[in-house]
Amino acid sequence: MFRYLILFLSFLLIFQAALAQESKRANVWYFGYEAGIDFNSGKPVALNDSKMNQWEGTASICDENGKLLLYTNGVQIWNNKHKVISGDADLGGNDSATQSAIIVPKPGDANIYYVFTTFSRLTCIIVDIRLNHGEGGIVSMNILMEHSTEKLTAVQHCNGKDFWILAHETGNNKFRSYLLKSDGLEKTYVENKIGNNASNSLGYLKFSPSGTKLAAALFSKGIFELYDFNNSSGSISNPIVLTHHDFKMAYGLEFSPDENFLYVTETLQTASRIFQLDISDKKPVEILKSKTTVGHTSESFFGALKLGPDNKIYVAKNRMKSLGVINNPNSKGLSCDYVSEGFVLGAAGGIGLPNFVSTFNLPKPSLSIVEEKNCNDITLTANYYPVSNNNSYQWYVDNSIIKNANEVAYRPKSSGKYSVIVSNKCSEEKIFSDVKEIKILNAEPRAIKINCGFYKLIANANSDFQWAGQDIKESDLYSDSIILSGSGMKTFNLKVFDIDDATCFIEKQLNVDFGVCDARVFIPDIFTPNEDGINDTFKIVVIGGTALKLDIFNRWGSLVFTDSSPAAEWSGKVNATHCLNGDYVYVFKYKTEMGEEFVRKGSFLLQR
C-alpha cells in the first residue's frame, strides 16, 4: 500500500540557521588565547578584542539582544569594555578546568548575574553589572561544594523562568542540581546518585538543546554516558553507558539540534577523531553500532564541541587559529559535512569553548502536525519543539473539541479540519497549531424507491468513484445518481478512489430489493355465452403487462381451449359446439412490464 509522510507548517525549517532565536544571550563567544566570535549578524564573525587567555573552559553572556555583558575564564571576570571588574580575585576556576565557569542570569532581574566556577570546588559569585558606574562588581562569593569535578552545566527550568545548575561531586556518582529562582539560589539541592564514579574530573557535561537529555564524558575511562533529565524536578534517570576503546580520551561532546545524534571527541592525542553516535535508539549496542568517524585532525588534537546559534557545531583544535565546523549536524554519517578549517579565528584557540545555558540557543517553541498516511489509515502527530515531557495535548476537528483525544498522536475517524493545542503543564504556556485538512475516503450510498421495481441510487461519496453492478449503463458508471428498474434482490458496488493515490480506495456494497411488481389482472368468475352481446366471452384483462397463454380445462381435466395470443378469449365452444354449463378451470400465463412472468390458476362458471 502506498505510504508517505506529509509535513506541513514550518517543521522542515525549525532546525535551520535562518530560524529566529528565543534569546541572543549566547551570541558572543570568548575563548582560547584572545579568540572570539560574534554571531549577531546571522553569520559568525571573528573578534580580536578579548583580553582573556585560557586553554580550557570559559563562559560569556549577552543581554537578550545579543549585546555582550560579561565573560570569564573562572579566574577573572571581564565586562563588555574588556575590563576586569573591581573586587575580582581568584574565583575558583582554572586554566585547565574543562568547564571552568558558566554565567546564569538571575530570573526577573536584568542586572544580576550568577557566575558559577569549578576546578576542585564549586563556587557561586553574584555580579551586579550596575556597580562601579556600570562597569560591574562582585556582590558576594560562596562555596557550594568543597569537592567538585570540572563538570558544570546549566539549563532552563521547564517553567521558562528559573534555571537548573548541574555539577558533580568528585570520587563518587553524585550529581547536584541547584535551582536558581527570582529570589536567588535555593539553599537545598537535588541529589542524584546515578552513573559511574567520577574518579577523573576531565570531560564535558552537557544538556541537549531542549534540556531533557544529558551527556557526560568520562576521560580515561573510555566512557560516554547518556541520561534523561527532568527539567521540572531536577532529577536524572535512565542511564545509558557507552564504552568503547576509541573513547579512552573522552572529552568533548555535543547534541545535534534535533537531538538524534551525539557528537564526541577524543583529546590530548594527535590524530584524534570526531565520532557521530545515533542516539535515536536507546539501546547501547545499537548506539555503538552507529559510531561513525566524521572528522579527524593530524596537526593537533580536538577539544570541546559547541552548538552555535546558527545550528552548526564548532570544534576546538588545540592552539589552532581555526575551528572545525559540522555544517549539517542533523544529517547522518558523513553527510553531516565536517570541515576541518571551517571557521578562521582572529587568534588561536585552546581546547575549550564557551559554556552556556543549553537552552539559550533554543528556537521559539514551534508546533507542526505530521500526517502519516497509509491509504485510509491516517495518523496525525503533534510535533512540538523543543522536546518536553511536560506537555499535554488536545485535538480539535472543525473547531470542536474531540473528547478523549489527549495524546501526542490522533487517528482521525472522518474528514475535517484538524488542529491541536499543546499546553506546557509546567509553564502553563499554550501553543496552537495551524489547521490540517484531512480527507478520509467515505461513501454512504443510498437507494431511494421511486415505484415498484424502480429505484434511484445515490453515491454520497467524497471523492472520485465508480459504480458496478447488473443493469448499470456505461454512461452511468460515474454518475452521482442513477435510476434503475428491476425485480427481486440485486447487489451494486461503489468503489471510491483517492485522487492522489490510485492504489488507495474503499468499496461499499448496496443491496436493493426491487420486489416483485405484478400487473393488474382482471379475471371474471362467470360468463354467459348466449349471444346477446353481453358477457359472451371469457376474457382476462391485463393492465401493466401482456398475456402469453390461456388454457381452459373442463371439470374432468380435458383441455378444451388454448390460445397464446395477447388477446386470447374463449367463446364457450369447442369445434363450434357449445360446451355444457358448469365449472371450468383456467391457467393464465402473462408477463409484467418489468419482464417478470406469472401464472394464475382458478375456476369460473359457464352459464347460458
Task: State whether 357 and 372 are in the same domain.
Answer: no
pLDDT at residue 515, rounded to an integer: 84
Domain endpoint, select from 417, 438, 459: 438
Closest CA to 72 of 427, 294, 354: 354
Q: What CATH number does residue 580 fall under?
A: 2.60.40.1220
Q: Which three cell numbers stand for residue 352?
A: 575549550
Task: State whether 293 and 331 are in the same domain.
Answer: yes
Is residue 181, in this structure, part of any structural domain at all? yes
pLDDT at residue 607, rounded to an integer: 95
Is residue 3, in this structure, part of any structural domain at all? no
Is residue 532, in this structure, part of any structural domain at all? yes
One-letter amino acid for residue 270 of the chain: T
Is residue 9, in this structure, part of any structural domain at all? no
Task: State whether 105 and 230 are in the same domain.
Answer: yes
* 109-130 per-position pLDDT tens digit: 999 999 999 999 999 999 999 9
Task: State whether 469 and 495 are in the same domain.
Answer: yes
Task: State whether 260 and 242 are in the same domain.
Answer: yes
Task: State whether 338 and 451 are in the same domain.
Answer: no
pLDDT surpassing 70 at residue 10: no
Task: State whether 433 and 482 are in the same domain.
Answer: no
Q: What CATH number does residue 433 fall under?
A: 2.60.40.10
pLDDT at residue 398, rounded to an integer: 96
Is residue 14, in this structure, part of any structural domain at all? no
Q: How many domains, in total, are found in the chain?
A: 4
Where are the extended beta strands (E) located within 533-606? 538-539, 541-543, 545-553, 559-563, 569-570, 573-574, 577-578, 582-592, 597-606
Domain endpoint, select from 438, 456, 485: 438
Task: State whether 52 and 167 are in the same domain.
Answer: yes
pLDDT at residue 145, rounded to an integer: 96
Q: pTM score, two decimals?
A: 0.73
Give mean pLDDT, residues 215-235: 94
Residue 89: which pLDDT band, with cuts at 50, 70 and 90? Answer: low
* 424-458 per-position pLDDT tens digit: 888 778 899 999 999 999 999 999 999 888 999 99
Task: State whether 312 and 385 are in the same domain.
Answer: no
Domain endpoint, select from 382, 403, 438: 438
* 373-411 per-position pLDDT tens digit: 999 999 999 998 777 778 899 999 999 999 999 999 999
Higher per-residue confidence, 488 vs 126? 126
Please list, in sequence order, all residues whose beta carbon lies within 8 angstroms of the beta carbon of residue 160, skipping any fewer than 6 positions away.
Answer: 424, 427, 429
Q: Which domain holds residue 528?
A: 520-606
Give mean pLDDT, residues 160-186: 96
Is residue 13, in this structure, part of any structural domain at all? no
One-letter amino acid for residue 133 of the chain: H
pLDDT surpassing 70 at residue 87: no
Is residue 186, in this structure, part of any structural domain at all? yes
Task: State whether 269 and 235 are in the same domain.
Answer: yes
Task: State whether 459 and 536 are in the same domain.
Answer: no
Residue 540: which pLDDT band, with cuts at 50, 70 and 90? Answer: very high
Task: State whether 264 and 379 are in the same domain.
Answer: no
The answer to whether the beta carbons of residues 588 and 550 sit under 8 Å apart is yes
Is residue 275, in this structure, part of any structural domain at all? yes
Mean confidence (pLDDT) of the chain: 92
Q: Report percent pLDDT > 70 for the chain.
A: 95
Please list, in sequence order, all residues whose beta carbon lies within 8 angstroms of the beta carbon of residue 533, skipping any fewer than 6 positions away.
Answer: none
Please list, in sequence order, all residues whose beta carbon lies within 8 angstroms of the beta carbon of residue 549, skipping any fewer than 6 positions away.
Answer: 562, 563, 564, 568, 587, 588, 589
Higher per-residue confidence, 280 vs 21? 280
pLDDT at residue 293, rounded to an integer: 97
Give mean pLDDT, residues 347-369: 91
pLDDT at residue 82, rounded to an integer: 96
